[in-house]
């Protein structure tokens, strides 16, 4: 590490100020300062590499946050409602973990692709039968504005969908 005392003109130039910023350099004139260099002996500094210039270095890739398990929902109707809210919010990984994996009957990628034209899903009538069975009417608004209507019966255990029977009615 080096310590150096610099004349005011160097400081002004480094700050981007013109030397004329000083009102009268002759009245401020002092003998040139003595430059003192102090060298502290320590470990050598690591080599400095040039800053990367590739676009990927300036914009790191976007990595989605890992799915965080939701708190266990104890109400079966709340599980079904949250499941479709997660799909509407495009939180597919969370919906998959909430039981989509149990009721989809296909791989995750195909299941997500099946919602490509779904803009939102609204639940109509939701009826709970006992602590674990729910029936619901679904209104799936598509990206073209059309609405598909479904009815379904869902089985919930330990806060997760474990079974479903869903059919399109329109």
Which architecture, in CATH terms, is 76-168? Roll (3.10)
Spans of all domains in the chain: 1-44, 76-168
Which SS3 state, helix, strand or coil, does residue 163 take?
strand
Q: How far, in Å, are 90, 114, 126, 147 from residue 135 at the CA level? A: 23, 22, 6, 19
Q: What are the pLDDT digits (tens) for 56-85?
A: 445 455 545 445 455 455 689 999 999 999
pTM value > 0.75: no
Is the predicted pLDDT of residue 95 greater than 60, yes or no? yes
């Amino acid at each position: 590490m080096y310590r150096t005392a610099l004349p005011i003109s160097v400081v002004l130039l480094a700050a981007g100020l013109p030397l004329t910023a000083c009102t009268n350099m002759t009245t401020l004139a002092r003998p040139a300062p003595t430059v003192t260099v102090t060298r502290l002996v320590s470990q050598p500094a690591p080599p400095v590499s040039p800053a990367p210039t590739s676009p990927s270095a300036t914009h790191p890739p976007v990595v989605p946050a890992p799915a965080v398990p939701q708190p266990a929902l104890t109400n079966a109707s709340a599980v079904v409602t949250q499941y479709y809210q997660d799909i509407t919010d495009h939180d597919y990984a969370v919906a998959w973990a909430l039981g989509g994996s149990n009721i989809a009957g296909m791989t995750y990628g195909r299941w997500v692709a099946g919602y490509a034209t779904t803009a939102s899903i609204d639940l109509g009538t939701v009826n709970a039968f006992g602590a674990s069975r729910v029936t619901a009417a679904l209104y799936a608004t598509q990206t073209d504005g059309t609405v598909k209507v479904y009815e379904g019966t869902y089985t919930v255990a330990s806060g997760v969908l474990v079974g479903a029977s869903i059919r399109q009615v329109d």
